[in-house]
Amino acid sequence: MAKQKDNPAEYKRGESYLTHVAFDSVVFGFSGEKLKILVMEYHNTGLFALPGGFVGLKENLNAAVRRGLKERTGLSNIYLEQCYVFGDVKRHQPEVLRKIIKANGLAADDKHWLLDRFISVAYYALINYSKVKLQPDTLSDSCEWYALDAVPKLMLDHNLIVQKALETLRKNLDEKLLGTNLLPLQFTMKQLQQVYEAFLDEKVHRTNFQRRMLTSGLLIRNEKQFLGKAHKAPYLYQFIK
Protein backbone atom coordinates (compact mmCIF):
# COMPACT_ATOMS: atom_id res chain seq x y z
CA MET A 1 0.00 0.00 0.00
CA ALA A 2 1.33 3.41 -0.97
CA LYS A 3 2.01 5.84 1.81
CA GLN A 4 -0.86 8.07 0.84
CA LYS A 5 -3.24 5.14 1.15
CA ASP A 6 -2.33 4.69 4.78
CA ASN A 7 -4.02 7.88 5.83
CA PRO A 8 -7.71 8.19 5.04
CA ALA A 9 -7.72 11.87 5.96
CA GLU A 10 -5.58 12.62 2.92
CA TYR A 11 -8.02 11.23 0.40
CA LYS A 12 -10.05 13.53 -1.71
CA ARG A 13 -13.79 13.00 -1.62
CA GLY A 14 -14.71 9.68 -3.14
CA GLU A 15 -11.32 9.08 -4.58
CA SER A 16 -10.64 5.71 -2.99
CA TYR A 17 -13.45 4.96 -0.56
CA LEU A 18 -17.20 4.80 -0.80
CA THR A 19 -18.67 8.06 0.45
CA HIS A 20 -21.17 8.04 3.33
CA VAL A 21 -20.30 4.48 4.34
CA ALA A 22 -18.16 3.61 7.36
CA PHE A 23 -17.73 0.73 9.74
CA ASP A 24 -16.86 0.42 13.41
CA SER A 25 -15.75 -2.69 15.27
CA VAL A 26 -16.22 -3.71 18.87
CA VAL A 27 -13.27 -6.03 19.41
CA PHE A 28 -13.63 -8.28 22.45
CA GLY A 29 -10.72 -9.92 24.23
CA PHE A 30 -10.51 -11.73 27.53
CA SER A 31 -7.68 -11.31 29.99
CA GLY A 32 -7.14 -11.15 33.72
CA GLU A 33 -10.62 -12.54 34.34
CA LYS A 34 -12.12 -9.54 32.58
CA LEU A 35 -13.71 -8.78 29.27
CA LYS A 36 -11.98 -5.99 27.37
CA ILE A 37 -12.48 -4.09 24.14
CA LEU A 38 -10.16 -2.17 21.86
CA VAL A 39 -10.31 1.62 22.00
CA MET A 40 -8.28 4.12 20.00
CA GLU A 41 -7.23 7.57 21.09
CA TYR A 42 -6.65 10.34 18.56
CA HIS A 43 -3.54 12.54 18.65
CA ASN A 44 -3.83 15.62 20.81
CA THR A 45 -7.61 15.65 20.94
CA GLY A 46 -8.60 13.66 24.00
CA LEU A 47 -11.04 11.85 21.72
CA PHE A 48 -11.56 8.12 22.05
CA ALA A 49 -13.17 5.96 19.40
CA LEU A 50 -13.80 2.41 18.29
CA PRO A 51 -11.47 1.12 15.60
CA GLY A 52 -13.24 1.70 12.32
CA GLY A 53 -12.64 2.60 8.75
CA PHE A 54 -13.97 2.95 5.24
CA VAL A 55 -14.78 0.68 2.35
CA GLY A 56 -12.62 0.71 -0.77
CA LEU A 57 -14.36 1.36 -4.09
CA LYS A 58 -13.71 -2.20 -5.19
CA GLU A 59 -13.73 -3.85 -1.80
CA ASN A 60 -16.36 -6.02 -0.13
CA LEU A 61 -17.76 -4.51 3.06
CA ASN A 62 -16.82 -7.54 5.16
CA ALA A 63 -13.35 -7.54 3.64
CA ALA A 64 -12.87 -3.91 4.56
CA VAL A 65 -13.63 -4.68 8.20
CA ARG A 66 -11.18 -7.58 8.21
CA ARG A 67 -8.54 -5.35 6.66
CA GLY A 68 -9.10 -2.79 9.41
CA LEU A 69 -8.74 -5.40 12.13
CA LYS A 70 -5.68 -6.91 10.51
CA GLU A 71 -3.99 -3.51 10.46
CA ARG A 72 -4.64 -2.92 14.15
CA THR A 73 -4.23 -6.37 15.65
CA GLY A 74 -2.09 -8.22 13.14
CA LEU A 75 -4.65 -11.03 13.10
CA SER A 76 -6.39 -12.63 10.16
CA ASN A 77 -9.19 -15.21 10.40
CA ILE A 78 -10.97 -13.26 13.09
CA TYR A 79 -14.44 -14.23 14.26
CA LEU A 80 -16.55 -11.35 13.06
CA GLU A 81 -20.24 -10.55 12.80
CA GLN A 82 -22.46 -7.70 11.83
CA CYS A 83 -24.38 -6.19 14.63
CA TYR A 84 -26.37 -3.14 13.57
CA VAL A 85 -26.33 -0.17 11.22
CA PHE A 86 -26.27 3.26 12.79
CA GLY A 87 -27.83 5.69 10.39
CA ASP A 88 -29.32 8.57 12.32
CA VAL A 89 -28.69 12.12 11.15
CA LYS A 90 -27.65 13.24 14.61
CA ARG A 91 -24.55 11.08 14.50
CA HIS A 92 -23.20 13.52 11.93
CA GLN A 93 -20.97 15.85 13.94
CA PRO A 94 -18.49 17.49 11.60
CA GLU A 95 -16.90 19.54 14.43
CA VAL A 96 -15.60 16.35 15.98
CA LEU A 97 -14.04 15.10 12.77
CA ARG A 98 -12.62 18.54 12.06
CA LYS A 99 -10.83 18.43 15.39
CA ILE A 100 -9.17 15.16 14.48
CA ILE A 101 -8.16 16.30 11.02
CA LYS A 102 -6.65 19.52 12.34
CA ALA A 103 -4.80 17.73 15.13
CA ASN A 104 -3.14 15.69 12.41
CA GLY A 105 -1.93 18.84 10.69
CA LEU A 106 -4.20 18.46 7.69
CA ALA A 107 -6.36 21.03 5.96
CA ALA A 108 -9.92 20.72 7.19
CA ASP A 109 -11.77 22.76 4.64
CA ASP A 110 -15.51 22.40 4.59
CA LYS A 111 -15.49 20.07 1.63
CA HIS A 112 -13.23 17.49 3.22
CA TRP A 113 -14.94 14.16 2.67
CA LEU A 114 -14.51 13.10 6.29
CA LEU A 115 -16.82 15.94 7.28
CA ASP A 116 -19.67 14.39 5.34
CA ARG A 117 -22.44 12.39 6.94
CA PHE A 118 -21.71 8.67 7.38
CA ILE A 119 -23.83 5.61 7.89
CA SER A 120 -21.84 3.21 10.05
CA VAL A 121 -22.09 -0.56 9.98
CA ALA A 122 -21.19 -1.93 13.40
CA TYR A 123 -19.42 -5.27 13.81
CA TYR A 124 -18.26 -7.22 16.79
CA ALA A 125 -15.20 -9.43 16.83
CA LEU A 126 -14.03 -12.07 19.28
CA ILE A 127 -10.30 -12.52 19.40
CA ASN A 128 -7.62 -14.29 21.35
CA TYR A 129 -6.18 -11.57 23.54
CA SER A 130 -2.73 -13.08 23.87
CA LYS A 131 -2.14 -13.25 20.12
CA VAL A 132 -2.67 -9.56 19.48
CA LYS A 133 0.05 -7.06 18.60
CA LEU A 134 -1.63 -3.68 18.87
CA GLN A 135 -0.89 -0.96 16.33
CA PRO A 136 -2.63 2.41 16.10
CA ASP A 137 -3.46 3.77 12.67
CA THR A 138 -1.99 6.97 11.32
CA LEU A 139 -4.73 9.15 12.77
CA SER A 140 -4.40 7.75 16.27
CA ASP A 141 -1.72 7.70 18.87
CA SER A 142 -2.88 4.65 20.71
CA CYS A 143 -4.90 1.49 20.42
CA GLU A 144 -5.42 -0.07 23.81
CA TRP A 145 -7.49 -2.60 25.70
CA TYR A 146 -10.07 -1.23 28.12
CA ALA A 147 -12.02 -3.35 30.56
CA LEU A 148 -15.72 -3.19 29.79
CA ASP A 149 -16.43 -1.42 33.06
CA ALA A 150 -13.74 1.16 32.40
CA VAL A 151 -14.38 2.21 28.82
CA PRO A 152 -14.02 6.00 28.55
CA LYS A 153 -16.51 8.34 26.94
CA LEU A 154 -16.22 7.66 23.22
CA MET A 155 -16.87 10.05 20.34
CA LEU A 156 -20.16 10.18 18.43
CA ASP A 157 -22.42 7.25 19.24
CA HIS A 158 -19.62 4.77 19.83
CA ASN A 159 -20.64 3.99 23.42
CA LEU A 160 -24.04 3.07 22.05
CA ILE A 161 -22.39 0.77 19.54
CA VAL A 162 -20.63 -1.04 22.38
CA GLN A 163 -23.95 -1.53 24.15
CA LYS A 164 -25.55 -2.87 21.01
CA ALA A 165 -22.70 -5.33 20.46
CA LEU A 166 -23.07 -6.60 24.01
CA GLU A 167 -26.81 -7.01 23.67
CA THR A 168 -26.47 -8.89 20.42
CA LEU A 169 -23.91 -11.25 21.88
CA ARG A 170 -25.87 -11.83 25.05
CA LYS A 171 -28.87 -12.95 23.07
CA ASN A 172 -27.12 -15.85 21.42
CA LEU A 173 -24.33 -16.68 23.80
CA ASP A 174 -24.32 -20.39 23.29
CA GLU A 175 -24.39 -20.59 19.54
CA LYS A 176 -21.54 -18.10 19.29
CA LEU A 177 -19.16 -20.48 21.03
CA LEU A 178 -17.58 -17.68 22.94
CA GLY A 179 -14.75 -19.74 24.28
CA THR A 180 -13.52 -20.91 20.91
CA ASN A 181 -12.53 -17.42 19.97
CA LEU A 182 -11.75 -15.70 23.24
CA LEU A 183 -9.75 -18.37 25.04
CA PRO A 184 -6.53 -20.16 24.21
CA LEU A 185 -6.72 -23.66 22.75
CA GLN A 186 -6.79 -25.19 26.20
CA PHE A 187 -8.49 -23.65 29.19
CA THR A 188 -9.98 -24.47 32.54
CA MET A 189 -13.69 -24.65 33.21
CA LYS A 190 -13.27 -21.69 35.52
CA GLN A 191 -11.99 -19.53 32.68
CA LEU A 192 -14.88 -20.50 30.44
CA GLN A 193 -17.28 -19.70 33.24
CA GLN A 194 -15.69 -16.29 33.68
CA VAL A 195 -16.18 -15.51 30.00
CA TYR A 196 -19.87 -16.30 30.28
CA GLU A 197 -20.21 -14.31 33.46
CA ALA A 198 -18.47 -11.34 31.92
CA PHE A 199 -20.93 -11.22 29.04
CA LEU A 200 -24.00 -11.91 31.10
CA ASP A 201 -22.84 -9.61 33.86
CA GLU A 202 -24.08 -12.07 36.45
CA LYS A 203 -22.84 -15.10 38.31
CA VAL A 204 -23.69 -18.53 36.97
CA HIS A 205 -24.04 -21.63 39.12
CA ARG A 206 -20.65 -23.33 39.06
CA THR A 207 -21.54 -27.01 39.15
CA ASN A 208 -24.50 -26.74 36.84
CA PHE A 209 -22.51 -24.69 34.35
CA GLN A 210 -19.85 -27.36 34.30
CA ARG A 211 -22.38 -30.10 33.65
CA ARG A 212 -24.09 -28.11 30.93
CA MET A 213 -20.83 -27.54 29.09
CA LEU A 214 -19.77 -31.16 29.39
CA THR A 215 -23.07 -32.61 28.23
CA SER A 216 -23.21 -30.20 25.30
CA GLY A 217 -20.67 -32.36 23.51
CA LEU A 218 -18.84 -29.30 22.24
CA LEU A 219 -15.72 -29.70 24.31
CA ILE A 220 -13.49 -32.49 25.49
CA ARG A 221 -11.47 -32.93 28.62
CA ASN A 222 -7.72 -33.27 28.39
CA GLU A 223 -6.00 -35.32 31.05
CA LYS A 224 -3.27 -32.73 31.36
CA GLN A 225 -3.63 -30.61 34.41
CA PHE A 226 -2.65 -27.20 35.55
CA LEU A 227 -0.79 -27.28 38.84
CA GLY A 228 0.61 -24.75 41.27
CA LYS A 229 -2.40 -23.71 43.32
CA ALA A 230 -3.41 -24.76 46.79
CA HIS A 231 -6.35 -26.80 45.62
CA LYS A 232 -7.29 -29.70 43.42
CA ALA A 233 -5.76 -29.27 39.99
CA PRO A 234 -8.37 -28.52 37.33
CA TYR A 235 -8.57 -30.34 34.04
CA LEU A 236 -7.82 -28.47 30.86
CA TYR A 237 -10.59 -28.52 28.28
CA GLN A 238 -10.71 -27.69 24.61
CA PHE A 239 -13.37 -27.29 21.98
CA ILE A 240 -13.82 -30.09 19.49
CA LYS A 241 -12.48 -29.40 15.99
Partner DNA sequence: CCAAAAGTGTTTTAGCTACACCCATGA
Partner DNA sequence: TCATGGGTGTAGCTAAAACACTTTTGG
Interacting residue ranges for DNA, rule: CB under 7 A:
188-190, 205-208, 210-212, 214-215, 225, 227-235
CB 118, min distance to a copy of itself, A = 9
Bridge partners for 86 per DSSP? 120
Which 150-189 residues touch a copy of itself, going by CB under 8 A? 171-172
Pick from a copy of itself, DNA, none: which does 207 bind, CB < 5 to 8 A by kind?
A: DNA
Q: Residue 45 — φ and ψ, nearest 5°?
A: -125, -20
**CA 146, CA 221: separation in Å to the nearest integer?**
32
**Element (DSSP H or E) covering residue 102:** helix 94-103
Pick from a copy of itself, DNA, none: which does 2 bind, CB < 5 to 8 A by kind?
A: none
**CA 135, CA 94: separation in Å to the nearest integer?**
26
Residue 111 binds a copy of itself (CB under 8 A): no
> Which residue lies nearer to a copy of itself by CB, 63 or 185?
63
Residues 6+ away with beta carbon under 8 Å from 124: 25, 26, 27, 28, 80, 81, 83, 165, 168, 169
Number of residues that bind a copy of itself (CB under 8 A): 24
**CA 190, CA 235: separation in Å to the nearest integer?**
10
Can you list the positions of beta strands (E) in 67-118? 79-86
> Which residue lies nearer to DNA by CB, 161 or 178?
178
Residue 93 binds a copy of itself (CB under 8 A): no
Residues 6+ away with beta carbon under 8 Å from 193: 204, 206, 209, 210
Residue 58 binds a copy of itself (CB under 8 A): yes
Pick from DNA, a copy of itself, none: which does 212 bind, CB < 5 to 8 A by kind?
A: DNA
Q: Which of 9, 21, 96, 103 binds a copy of itself (CB under 8 A)?
A: 21
Interacting residues toward a copy of itself by CB under 8 A: 14, 18-21, 55, 57-62, 82, 84-89, 117, 119, 121, 171-172
